[in-house]
Amino acid sequence: MGCSASGAVRPARSGPDRSYAGRARAGREGGDPAQFHVCSLSPIGAVLLLLGGAAVVFGVLPVDAALEIGDRVWPILLFVVAVTIVAELAARAGVFDAAAARLARLSRGRVIVLWLMVVAFAAVVTAFLSLDTTAVLLTPVVVAVARANGLSPMPFAFATVWLANTASLFLPVSNLTNLLAAHRLGDLDALGFLGLLGPSAIIATVVTVILLWLTNRRGLRGRFTPARPPRVSDPVLLRISAVVLVVMMPLLVIGIAPWMPALGAAVVLTIVFAWRSPTALRWALVPWQLVVFASGLFLAVGAAEALGSGALLAAATGSGEDFVSLWQVAGVGMLGANVVNNLPAYLALESAAGSPVRLAALLIGVNAGPLITPWASLATLLWHERLHAVGVDVPWKRYILLGLVVAPLTVALAVLPLALH
């Protein structure tokens, strides 16, 4: 067993797995040392919860402030739980396999066309289903598609991890940090969020794609003969899951609270799986690790702010909205994400950011910037874990060296539209 999209243990499949991801995993079952990082989230979260609880008991964090934190985060965590269940069950039904196989056929054997369609698919999955879904569920699929068609998996693997981060600027549901920021901005809806960060998200995505092409262009030349797609074990389950996913995605951006359509889709798929494939329903589908970690982190950061951390961080981020000041906010966010992790970096800097434009700059730093260190975002650790599980080893040295170029350039260019906002 491994960890799921957000740290839960993935259920074992019964019988031979003929999906793309199953093909890729063949012969690589067993211990995965990379899983340690993800599966350690729960004890870390428990410690943070204890620290936060102690802060409330001893009066460091007022009870009212703790209740306010709870009122703020429960819809966000409910959404994360629901959309993780939806994505996991959709993957189990073969939705991502079917989509990847369709892309291979539509490419007509041209490597660059297949790669560009995978890039677009990764961006859409990230925007609507979150970056962790792209890192965990899409990565093994696109790697297996590449291998099945005799192509190098590296250009496809790097596309999923870089776009999982940089394409997570489009919508509130794309990243947990976005959901937090949308609440901070007065429950900003999807259109309002897109109006604020849309141009920056487009620039970050385009810059990422260009840099991906430049670093992988030799492996994207030529043609291939499309391989036979994997057999669908339950066409009815596949069709229903695909319909639920397609219906849910636009409902996430029409202005209602995102947890509502996500929870509805999770309930529908749970009922369908209880009918068609009950063995797939396990408590492990729920991302307990991330829920505990995030809950503890929210309380701990709240306690730190009560102790005056905000004033210190405000000095580091400045106060203006000109080009230089916005770059400063984004740069501090990028630095914090790569030193610690993007979620605690955002939470610590949120109050210091201040205005909507500065908060948007912070999001650029913590979303598009975590491309240097392995721990900068949970998605990156999950991505590396999935690659290791399917026999693709990416040395962290190469990842870090590329990230030192990609992250600062992407963040710097993505901030430009904000100064003209």
pLDDT in tens, 234-252: 999 999 999 999 999 999 8
pLDDT at 21: 53
Q: Could you tell me the pLDDT band of residue 34, with boundaries at 50, 70 and 90?
A: very low
What residue type is 12 in one-letter code? A
pLDDT reported for residue 28: 41
Element (H, E) at 398: helix 396-419
Neighbouring C-alpha atoms within 13 Å toward the C-beta of 234: 20
Whether pLDDT at 36 is above 50: no
**pLDDT > 90 fraction of the chain, expressed in percent and rounded:** 38
> Where do the domains of the chain lie?
60-419
Measured CA to CA, the distance from residue 281 to residue 139 in angstroms comes to: 23
Segment of 71-75, 89-93, 169-173 carrying the highest mean pLDDT: 169-173
Residue 350 contacts by C-beta under 8 Å, 6 or more apart in sequence?
Answer: 180, 181, 184, 359, 362
Q: Is the pLDDT of residue 371 over 70?
A: yes
Q: Is the pLDDT of residue 42 over 80?
A: no
Query: Which pLDDT value is given to residue 23?
Result: 52
Residues 362, 243: Cα–Cα separation, whole Å: 36
pLDDT score for 38: 53
Per-residue model confidence (pLDDT) at position 22: 55
Q: Residue 18: pLDDT band by 50, 70, 90 thresholds?
A: low
Mean per-residue pLDDT for 267-291? 89
Structure tokens at 353: 């950011």
Query: Average pLDDT for residues 135-142, to the nearest whole number?
Result: 85
Q: For residues 182-194, give the mean pLDDT.
A: 86
- Tokens 């979150």 correspond to what residue? 130
